[in-house]
Amino acid sequence: MTKPVSMLTAWRADVPASIVVSLVALPLCLGIALASGAPLFSGLIAGIVGGIVVGLLSRSPLSVSGPAAGLTVIVLEAIQSLPSYQVFLAAVVIAGALQIAFSISRAGILGEFVPSSVITGMLAAIGLILILKQIPFAVGFEKEFVGSENFIEADGGNTLSSLWISLTERLTPGAAIIGITCTVFLFAWDKFKPKQGPFKLLPGPLVVVVMGVVGNALLALFKPEWALGPKHLVQVPIAADFDAFVGLFTFPDFSAIGSTALWTTAIT
C-alpha cells in the first residue's frame, strides 16, 4: 500500500510552480470569461475555485480544473439562450450536483462508451470556431463586445465575410502588430526558450501577455495613434470598498427551475 505523501514534502518545487501557474491562469481565466460572454469577475472566481477547492478535495496527484477553452462556445450559447446570467448559474449548480451524483454512483464508466473520435471532433470544431472568430479581434475589428459564435451573424454577414472585412478594411495596425508578434513568439517560445536558468520555468502564454502589455505601452509612447484604446483592453472591475466588492458577486437564480431550457443546459 502506498504511503500517503504530505503536501509539504515537495514545497521547494511546488511554490515556484504554483506562482507560474497562477500567473498563467490569471489572463487565461479573464480571456475565457470574456469569450464566453460571462462577467470577468466570474473567470477569476472559477480560477480560484479550480485551484484551491478542487486541489484540496481531489485525491489525484495530477488534475486540470478551472475555466476551459473547450467549453467557451457551449457556455456562450447557454448564456444567450437562457433568460439571464443568474439563471445560467443555476444550471451550472444543477450540472455540478448531477456530476457529484454520477461520481458517488460510480457512473464514470459511462464515459467509456463515448468514442474518442467524437470528443476529438468536437474539440477540433470548437478550436476552429475560436480561431476564425478571434482573428478579427486580433487585428482590432470588433463589431460586438463579445462576438457571435454563429456562422450567420446578426448583421446578415457571416464568419468568413467578417474575417475578410477585418483583414482588408478594418485592420488596426497596433492590434495587428501586437497580435501577430505575440502569436509567432508563442509558437517559437517552447522551441527556443532557455534550457537553463530561471527563464526555463517561464511558460509561453505568460511571456506573451507581458509582451502585449509592454508592446502597447511602447506604441502609446512612440506611436499614440496606433496604441490600443480602452475598448480593446480588458476592463477588470475594481471595487472601491468592501460593499462594492461584495456587489461583484452574482448568485444563481432558481426562479426558472421549471424551465426546460434550464434543465437542458444543466444536463447537456
Question: For residue 7, what pLDDT is reported?
Answer: 62
Question: For residue 87, what pLDDT is reported?
Answer: 94
Question: For residue 194, what pLDDT is reported?
Answer: 79
The predicted-structure confidence for 16-33, as pLDDT tens digits, reads as follows 778 777 877 888 888 888
pTM for this prediction? 0.72
Question: For residue 148, what pLDDT is reported?
Answer: 58
DSSP the chain: -PPPPPTTTTHHHHHHHHHHHHHHHHHHHHHHHHHHT--HHHHHHHHHIIIIIHHHH---SS---S--GGGHHHHHHHHHHSS-HHHHHHHHHHHHHHHHHHHHTTGGGGGGGS-HHHHHHHHHHHHHHHHHHHHHHHTT--SSSS---SSB-TTS-BHHHHHHHHHHTS--HHHHHHHHHHHHHHHHHHHHS-SSSGGGG--HHHHHHHHHHHHHHHHHHH-GGGS--GGGS------SSHHHHHHT-----GGGTT-HHHHHHHH-
Question: For residue 1, what pLDDT is reported?
Answer: 46
Low-confidence ranges of the chain (pLDDT < 70): 1-8, 143-155
